[in-house]
Copies of this chain bind each other. A is one copy, B any other.
Amino acid sequence: MRNPLLVPDLREFLQGGEEDALREFLGDQHPGRVAELIEDLPDGEGDAVFRILESRERAGVLSYFENDEQNRLVEAMPPKEAAELLRVMSHDERAALVNRLDEDFVDEVLPNLAQAEREDIRRLTSYEPGTAGAAMTTDYVTLPAHITVREALERLRHEAPDRETIYYCYVVDHNRRLIGFVSLKRLILARRSSFIEEIMQRDVIFAKVDDDQEPVAQTIDKYDLLALPIVDADARLVGIVTHDDAMDILRREQTEDILKFGGVAPDPEADTVPYWQSHVFTTVRRRIKWLMLLFLAENLTTPVQQHFQWTYGDQKIPALALFISLLTGTGGNAGSQTVGTVIRGMALGEIKLSHTLFVVLREWLTGLCLGLMLGAVALFYIHFWRAQPWGVSGVVAIALFGVCMWANVIGSLVPLAARRVGIDPAVVSAPFISTLVDATGMVIYFTIAITLLGLVK
């Protein structure tokens, strides 16, 4: 949907110093489109266009930039200008932005805001991540029950510029307790002289401020709502969660199925953290649970083969051959976990092509930790329980270590390489990676055996 034809127009206005014409031109565009235009300009020119916008428009455009870019643009502003921007921003985005900005800068900016705004920011930043409170915004419309529709419409007209949505109005009593709901559609349809309490819906669907954000988003989705009101422990209205934020929450949740399907244990706490911010040890902890469990289950392949080896007749299966399935199976599992993680990160936009080197290094490090743990277990397990000499258990242990690192490297590299050449990375499936690890894992295994056992042809 990007329109490259607009960029030359924009640059012409800019170079001619025609600020008014530029403002009018941009005012006809959706803020998301303006953000794209600014991104398509060289850095200095983009910043110049951004500075020309009046503050409300600027707030709208800002929300379409990446977080880092938002921080950069805001921190480049004089504190007074930044404060004015914060004043007109949507309240949830403002709280998120303040959380990310440099603390010293925030200390300079906040005194320029009114007490109520500062209080609002403080409150919204204080909720536990992952709760309804952390996902909600406070720029919604409330109405008292005793006013008329005419008065309500007049009030909406006054408040509209500062509200994220005016399409849903919540009716509260003098203690701010939620007692009803009326949509703007219903207001428009009603007689102007009716009272709000006559036309409002009394059975309001709501959620609590400390509810988990996922069921909140599911409720919005299920009932096709534009927003869901959030109340505190005393049934007082404290915010709303809007449909677009619900969509983001559901996306995070749905893509989580890919992670689980790749064999990474769910972890509600770690899961609200983006790929980059989660610690490698958190990643290792989430993966080792299933990986170790499946490793132990995979060990069954050894006694099964031993049990049936009489079918080979006189030929006795060599000790090293007994552990091939254990090794390639575990490598495939580690690879599936990595692919699941990387594909999800790409689907959420957290992992980009430019991160390839970092992602591969990070996954290699994860594979190193996982391989060390599995290798240590294998070393003793195979020697003592499977009664193999240290030579065999040592080879299997070191091969496991190598295969885990290898599986994690290709599990992260292949989906990124697929995108690089224009293939949908999601087709790099778990079966694809485990098949790849099956043949290559054997080469690693035998090579280590040859080296360690001093075998010569």
A interface vs B, CB < 8 Å?
A: 1, 28-30, 32-33, 153, 156-157, 160-161, 166-167, 184-185, 188-189, 201-203, 205, 219, 221-224, 226, 243-244, 247, 250-251, 254-258, 260-263, 265-266, 290-291, 294, 297-298, 300-301, 304-305, 308, 310-313, 315-318, 320-321, 324-325, 328-329, 332-333, 336-337, 339-340, 343, 347, 424, 426-427, 429-432, 434-436, 438-439, 442-443, 446, 449-450, 453, 455, 457
Measured in the bound complex, the distance between the Cα atoms of B443 and A393 in whole Å is: 24
Measured between C-beta atoms, what is the minimum distance from A456 to chain B in Å? Answer: 10
Contact B201 A221 (CB under 8 A): no
A-B contact pairs, 22 of them (CB 8 A): A1-B219, A30-B201, A32-B222, A167-B184, A221-B244, A221-B247, A243-B243, A243-B247, A260-B424, A261-B429, A290-B429, A290-B431, A298-B438, A304-B443, A308-B442, A308-B446, A311-B320, A311-B455, A329-B434, A333-B434, A336-B431, A431-B434
Measured between C-beta atoms, what is the minimum distance from A70 to chain B in Å? Answer: 16
Measured in the bound complex, the distance between the Cα atoms of B185 and A124 in whole Å is: 25
Contact A261 B263 (CB under 8 A): no
Measured in the bound complex, the distance between the Cα atoms of B324 and A328 in whole Å is: 12
Chain B residue numbers with a CB within 8 Å of A167 are 167, 184-185
| Contacts known (A188-B160, A304-B439, A311-B446); A263 close to B431, Cβ less than 8 A | yes
Measured in the bound complex, the distance between the Cα atoms of B453 and A288 in whole Å is: 41
Measured in the bound complex, the distance between the Cα atoms of B171 and A28 in whole Å is: 14
Measured in the bound complex, the distance between the Cα atoms of B297 and A432 in whole Å is: 9
Contact A333 B30 (CB under 8 A): no
Chain B residue numbers with a CB within 8 Å of A203 are 28-30, 33
| Contacts known (A247-B221, A449-B311); A329 close to B435, Cβ less than 8 A | yes
Measured between C-beta atoms, what is the minimum distance from A303 to chain B in Å? Answer: 9
Contact B219 A257 (CB under 8 A): no
Chain B residue numbers with a CB within 8 Å of A320 are 311-312
Measured in the bound complex, the distance between the Cα atoms of B347 and A337 in whole Å is: 20
Chain B residue numbers with a CB within 8 Å of A205 are 1, 30, 33
Measured between C-beta atoms, what is the minimum distance from A425 to chain B in Å? Answer: 9
| Contacts known (A247-B250, A317-B318); A337 close to B431, Cβ less than 8 A | yes
Contact A429 B188 (CB under 8 A): no
Measured between C-beta atoms, what is the minimum distance from A441 to chain B in Å? Answer: 9
